[in-house]
Amino acid sequence: MYVWKYWRESRYTFAAGMALVGLLLWAVLKIPMGAMVEGNQDMGQSNPAELYLVVAGILTLPLAFLGLLFGSFGVGRDLGAGSGSFLFSRPRSRAFFVWSDWGYGVAQLLLLVVAANSVLALAIHRAVPGSRSILLAGGPVSMLSVFCVHCAAGLVLIGLMFGLTYFASVLVKGRGVLLSLGVLLAYIISKSVVKHYWPDITLPDLTLTEFTPTPFGGARFADHLGLDIAVRAAVALAFPIGAQLLLRQRDVD
């Protein structure tokens, strides 16, 4: 099966991601609960949102980098190795290979995101025992809702990294990670330049803003959060579509 091929290529990267999550779990379990509670007394028993986001930020860059690496596997790697013509001689359409790569890669990334956020939820439970909700400006919100939102935010971020690298790997035949890093660096620089010279124009952040402060103190869910997630998911989905169209229009050696 072709999916088995993708697994063989990505298994070490997936194992490294799970090892990262395991290391975080070990750190959470090793820290005495009393020390965690003492370190977060100012936050209060009913509003652990700040701690959740601080700890989540620690995992953003490693997970995003894993998304970049996952995008370099599959069809793009075969094109770079010169074995694309053999692969596409199989009795399958090129779309099949693209969407098999994308589907299996996203499934692995989803497991990593859910596992990482489960560890974060455990950290909150140990730091603020008995906390089942977050007090926002509009009222209490269950920790399960925050967990689901943060999983969606993490998935669209690393899905974007995954899709960008996958498309770039097809475009330049296997060297997608370098091209993706260049594109991301160029975007970050462009964002700073635009903000400096045109303050009224704000380019979107790569990471999703889930909470926003209120004028009266506290926080609430960011405006148009669902729309932001949907738009980012659509952008991430556009990359495999672009890779499929690119493969249809080119000859593979």
Q: 251, 164, 149: which is closest to 206 by C-alpha? A: 164
The identity of residue 210, as a single letter, is E
**Highest-confidence segment of 125-129, 140-144, 182-186:** 182-186
SS3 (DSSP) at 236? helix
pTM, whole model, 2 decimals? 0.83
Per DSSP (E only), the strands in the chain are: 133-136, 139-142, 211-213, 219-221
Evaluate if residue 42 carries a pLDDT over 50: no
Q: What is the pLDDT of residue 37?
A: 52
Domain ranges of the chain: 2-248
Distances (CA, A) of 222 to 51, 116, 117, 208, 227: 17, 22, 20, 9, 11
- Average pLDDT of the chain? 80
pLDDT, tens digit (0-9, with 9 covering 90-100), for 107-117: 999 999 999 88
Amino acid at position 37, single letter: V
Residue 13, pLDDT > 50, answer yes
DSSP codes, 95-137: HHHHHHHHHHHHHHHHHHHHHHHHHHHHHHHHHSTT--EEEET
Higher pLDDT, 86 or 127: 127
Q: Which residue did the predictor score with more confidence, 235 or 251?
A: 235
Q: What is the pLDDT of residues 57-104, one digit of tens each?
A: 667 788 888 999 998 887 877 775 655 555 666 667 778 888 888 999
Q: Which whole-number Å values give the CA distances from 3 to 11, 78, 80, 97, in the listed order?
A: 12, 14, 19, 9
Residue 49 has pLDDT above 90, yes or no: no
Band of residue 138 on the pLDDT scale cut at 50, 70, 90: low
CA distance 206 to 32: 34
What integer is the mean pLDDT of 171-176?
80
> Which of 42-56, 119-133, 196-210 shows the highest mean pLDDT?
196-210
Assess whether pLDDT exceeds 50 at residue 46.
Answer: no
- Comparing CA positions, the residue from 9, 239, 234, 1 lying closest to residue 102 is 239
Most distant CA atoms of the chain, gap in Å: 64
**DSSP-assigned beta bridge partners for residue 140:** 135
Per the CB < 8 A criterion, the answer to whether 174 and 72 are in contact is yes
210: pLDDT strictly greater than 90? no
47 pLDDT above the threshold of 60: no
Nearest CA to 10 out of 88, 103, 93, 91 is that of: 103
d(CA 199, CA 194): 7
Higher model confidence: residue 197 or residue 76? 197
Q: What single-letter amino acid sits at 11?
A: R
Among 45-59, 71-85, 125-139, 161-175, which is the least confidently predicted range?
A: 45-59
